[in-house]
Each structure stands twice: as structure tokens, then as C-alpha cells.
Chains A and B, each alone.
Chain A
Amino acid sequence: MKFIKVPLILTLAAIGFGSAQAKDDIYIPVVSKGYQHEFWQTVKLGSDTAAKELGIRTSFVGPADETQISQQIQLMEDMMARQPDAILLAALDANALVLPVEEATSRDIKIATFDSGVNSDIPKSFIATNNVKAGGDAAMALGKMLGGKGKVGIVAHVAGTQSAIERSEGFINAMKQYYPEILLLDVQYSDGDPQKSMDKTIDMYRANPDLAGVYATNEGATLGVGNAIDSLNLSGKVLVMGFDSTEGIISFLKSGTIQGFVVQDAYQIGYQGLKTLYSVLEGKEVPAVIDIPVKVITASNIDSPEMQTLLFPFGK
């Protein structure tokens, strides 16, 4: 094997040298938390578009599922071997990914994180949905629909998770500030399970027949609340604000079972992520945290072209 290697190294050095001289372009790969789900594919659409606009190269990789931390570390190593200028990373584990991030720094590769960060000061920027603000947006929309009065319940997903806490607190704080007359019930947790969420909503209504509105904090919770409202024939009497978008949730909105839902802008997360890293390479100062605003979809704006591209980034 040694005999083969020597000439090979020489030819490759020549090829490598030649190509490095010819194409002095910038390369920023994206290491994601996954690649199969629509959310990640939409992030990819955003980062690909940004790369095309900037005239730089990118690629998109991610582990097979969200437990494969060591696979993600390997992907980081493989991407570093391609000698990129920067890497955009969504960390599966905030601590485990610190090591490859440090390694990247020692090779002078710039890092920014999106969606999920790492416990380190190295990344130049963190680009993600601000869940507190998203909860606040949901509160503003629901409060307005209710005319600032009535009892509102909250069906959150998994107790103790960061996103559930932030989405609920953002909602509660905004309601207290802008619609102080609205009475908020205690937060119920559904584990994001549509069945549990449906049961909790029905119980909530039995205990509070004057219930005016419900806020659900993720896809499963929203589906469950929608089902409960539908089965109790309360469409339009109890107003529902959901979170995340699926075909089921969209059809609930169209049938008037729910009045609105919050969508994260995955496209913008990828798009802004790549543009931010490019700015870093240009030597510009970038904000340490970039909030990607969410959109509240309601019956009145769902058919607008902007919302349609947000809901169906790949077409219907």
C-alpha cells in the first residue's frame, strides 16, 4: 500500500494545488440535527438559496435521527476535512458538540449555530426562533380575537422542556401586560400527545363552561385541542391558537375549529444562518443572537402568497 500511496499523494497534491488555485471560492457546509423531516429540508432550502445568492458553495448533512450524537460529531469531522471557511451547526447536545467546535476554531474555521446552540462562547452567532416572542405573538393574536376578555387555558407539550417553558411564559407575560382582563388558567401538560391533550381540554371545559379560548404549544397539543373543540361542537365559541403547521392543523383552521396557529420560519433560519456566517467571513460584526420571527397564520391571511410559501415551501 505504501508504494501506491507515494505517487498518489504526488498526483493529488498536484490536482489539489491546481484546483485550489483555480477556485478560490468560499465553502460553508451546514451540519443539521436531521435531514429527513420537512423542517430540516426547509432550512436547507433557505441555506441553499442564500448560498446561490452569495455565489458560494454549501452542502447540507445531518445524522439519521436526533439521538445519533456521535454520528453528528463524525459529520463535523468530515466537513472539517473538506477545509471549509465556516460551518453552520445545529447541535444535538449542547455539551458533546463543544469539542468539535473547539477543533474547528483551532483550524480557523468559523462557527455559527442555529436552532440549538452549544455551551461555548466560540460560535459567532445563534440563529433561531425566539420561543418567548413566539408565545407573545400568539397571546397578542388571541387576546385581540377575544376582545381582551374571558378565560383562557394553556395546553403545553412536555413539562420541563425548554421550548414548552418559553412558549408558555412568553404567552402568559404578554397576556398579563397587554390584556390584563383575561383570566389565565393553570398550564396543563399533554406530553405533546393528541389524545392526552384532547382529554385535558375536555376536562378544562367541564370545569370552566365559560372558557373563551385555548392556547396549545406544539403540533400534538394543537391537534388534541382541535379534536376536543370539534367533538364538543364548540367551534367558534371557544377560540383556539395553535403552534406548528401540519395538514391536520391547516384543515382545522379552514373548517373554523381553530382560529390561528404559529409557524416557525425554517426557511429564514437557514437563509439568515448562511448570510450571517458570510458576514463573519467578510470581517463584519454580527449580533450574538438573531431571532427569527414567527408568523401567526389566521383564516384571513392563510391564502396570501407569503403564508402559502411559508406553509408549503415545496409546493402542494
Chain B
Amino acid sequence: MLSNTKKLTVKKDFFLNKELLMKLAPLISLVLLMIFFSIGTPYFLNLSNLLTVALQTAVIGIMAIGVTYVIITAGIDLSLGSVMAFSGVAVGLAASIGLPLWLCVLAGALAGFLCGCLSGFLVTRAAIPPFIATLGLMMSVRGINLVLTDGRALYFQDYPTFRVIAQGRLFDLIPYPVIYFAVIALISAYILKRTVIGRYIYAVGSSEDAAHLSGIKVNQVKMFVYSFCGLLTGVAGVILTSRLNSGQPTVGVGYELEAIAAVIIGGTSLMGGIGTIGGTIIGALIMGILKNGLNLMGVSQFWQMVAMGIVVVAAVYLDTLRKKMK
């Protein structure tokens, strides 16, 4: 009898641990990946390279934070890549008519915000499925970028300080985009965890009907997540534009999928209701480190694409395992 109960508790402990293990899977993968590359290449583990990874991850990471909100409501946003290019074009156009620098930057962020509002409008008022609405936007916005610029890049000769936004470094060490990334992550995590709208986002994702019945204005919540995602994409677009020192109408193709992949790797469920900003950041870092590390090890780019795909599928497989255990 006694030994039996003992066995049971042991089993239970084991289960709890496994569940904990699953929850921590993204973080553990990140650490393992870092150890692997540290051993694999002498160039990986030094401050200068780790800051480079953080810099490279910042743009995708900021977009991924935005789209985490959308995915938690069981939505999706495929327009990110086009919208971020649109934001860059907006900065370029504002610069070409000679607006002051801060207004150019604002124009870029606002351009993203407006696209997000449009997505939100299409999803809520017009009741178009998010996949279709944002797919349409992805194509049209890309077209608009080309129309507005005639397919050519816009440059900022008259704004020599513009490049400081992404090229500058705090204390001559930490790249500014990494700081924006960190600040945006903290604010977004706070909104999601500690505010009413944050709790509503989870509620809408868990069950739209239940959320509606309990008095949550579902459409307002959705409008909020899409426009928030648009705003962050606009910010990411401004950073990228500064990094490229030019407004490129064709930039960002496929970025939406990279951002979505980061969100999924971080343990957010495409079915909605589950997900954290911390997870997304880990997901984005896993993608960034994988790319950087494989480049440093000199792995062929054909194989890099294979590796990326495997990581995304493995992450989702872990997620289904986690659900099965519950």
C-alpha cells in the first residue's frame, strides 16, 4: 500500500516535470543551440557577434511581437512584409518633400498603423477571414509601393542623421534597434499580461462566442490587435529603412512568414488563446541564431533553408505533444 502511493507520486512528479520541460522547450532549445554553435565555431560566442545577432533579430522580432497579439486571437496577418516596405516608402516620400526628420519617422510608423487599421476593418466590419483579408493586403500594398516609387529605391541624401536610428549604438556598444526591441517587448508583455485588453485578447482567442457572451466587444479587441500589429510593423519598417539607408519598395518579401514562424516556435498556438511575448522573443532569437550560426560555420544556404523548415515543424510537433499530455 505504502509503496503503491509512493509510486503514484513519483509518477505524478515525473509527469509534472515533463510538462514543465515541454513548457520550457523553446528556452532549452535556445540554450542548446547556443552551446552547439559555441562549440561548432570560434566566432559565435563573443559580445560583438551576439550583439550582431540581436541587431539582426530586432526587425523580425518587433513584427513578431505584433503578430503574436493577432495569432492569440486566432487571427493571422500575412501583410507584414509588404506593410513594412510601405512604411519605408512613406518615410522616403516624406523625406522627398522635405519634411523634418521626426515627421518622416512618424509617417513611417503611421503608414504601418493605417494598414493595420485597414486589416482590422476588413476582418471585423467586412467579416472577411483574416487569411484572405491580409493576403489581399499583402499583394495590393506591394503593388502600391511599386506605383508610388516607380519601382525604384528612395534615398536620404538630405538626412545624414537618419541612419543613426538603426546604425547608432548606445555607449558605442549596444545597437539602438536592440534597445527598441527590448522596450517594445516589455510594453507589449505588460499590456498582454496585466491589462484588461490583454486578458480580452486571450478570451477572444480561446472562444469568440464565450467572450462575446461575457460582454467583451470582440470586434474592438480585434481592431486593436490588427492596428497594434500594423503600428509595430511600421516601427520595424522605419528601423529597416534606416538600416538600409533607403526606402526599398521590394524589401521584406517573406518576412511575414519568418515572423509567424518565430511566434510558432515560441509556443503560441495558431488556434488562438495561448501564447506569450517571452516565447515569441525566444522564437525570434532561435531563428536569428540559427541563421547566424550556420553562416559562421559555413553551412551551404541550401541546407540552411532545410534546417529552418525542420525547426518550425519540430516546434509545432512539440506543441501538439504538449496538448496531448493535457
A residues neighboring B (CB under 8 Å): 1, 4-5, 8-9, 12, 15-16, 19-20, 35, 59, 61-62, 64-65, 67-70, 73-75, 77-79, 81-83, 93, 95-96, 98-99
- A93 x B246 contact (CB < 8 A): yes
One digit per residue, 1 when the CB lies within 8 angstroms of any chain A CB and 0 when it does not, for chain B 38-71 equals 1101111100110010011001000000000000
Residues of A within 8 A of B34 (CB): 1
A64 to B301, CA, bound (A): 9
Least distance between A119 CB and chain B CB atoms (Å): 10
Does B23 reach chain A (CB closer than 8 Å)? Answer: no
Instruction: Decide yes or no: A12 and B42 within 8 Å by CB, A70-B240, A81-B49, A99-B163 being known contacts.
Output: yes
The secondary-structure label for the interface of chain B is helix
In the bound complex, do residue A70 and residue B243 qualify as a contact, i.e. CB atoms below 8 Å apart? Answer: yes
Q: Which residues of A contact B55 (CB under 8 A)?
A: 77
Cβ distance A184 to chain B, nearest Cβ, rounded Å: 30
Residues of A within 8 A of B49 (CB): 81
Contact of A70 with B295 in the complex, beta carbons under 8 Å: no
What per-residue 1/0 map shows which CB atoms of B16-41 lie under 8 Å from chain A?
00000000000000010011001101
**Cβ of A14 to closest chain B Cβ, rounded Å:** 10
What is the minimal beta-carbon distance from A251 to any residue of chain B, in angstroms? 30
Task: Assess whether B43 is in contact with A8, with CB atoms less than 8 Å apart.
Answer: no
CA distance A99 to B241 in the complex (A): 13
| A-B interface contact total, Cβ < 8 Å | 84
Chain B residues 199-249 with CB under 8 Å of chain A are 240, 243-246, 248
Contacts of B296 in A (CB 8 A): 78, 81-82
CB–CB A81/B52 < 8 A: yes
Taking a contact as CB atoms under 8 Å apart, the answer to whether A96 and B244 are in contact is yes
Report whether B298 and A73 are in contact in the complex, using a CB–CB cutoff of 8 Å: no
Per the bound structure, the CA–CA distance linking A7 and B167 in Å amounts to 32
Q: Can you list 13 A-B pairs, Cβ within 8 angstroms, ordered by A? A: A9-B45, A12-B39, A15-B42, A16-B42, A61-B301, A79-B295, A81-B48, A82-B43, A82-B298, A93-B244, A96-B153, A96-B246, A99-B163
* CA of A12 to CA of B42, assembled, Å: 6
In chain B, what residue has the closest Cβ to A29? Answer: B298
The answer to whether A12 and B38 have CB atoms under 8 Å apart is yes
A79 — which chain B residues lie within 8 A by C-beta?
A: 295
A96 and B243 CA atoms in complex are apart in Å by: 8
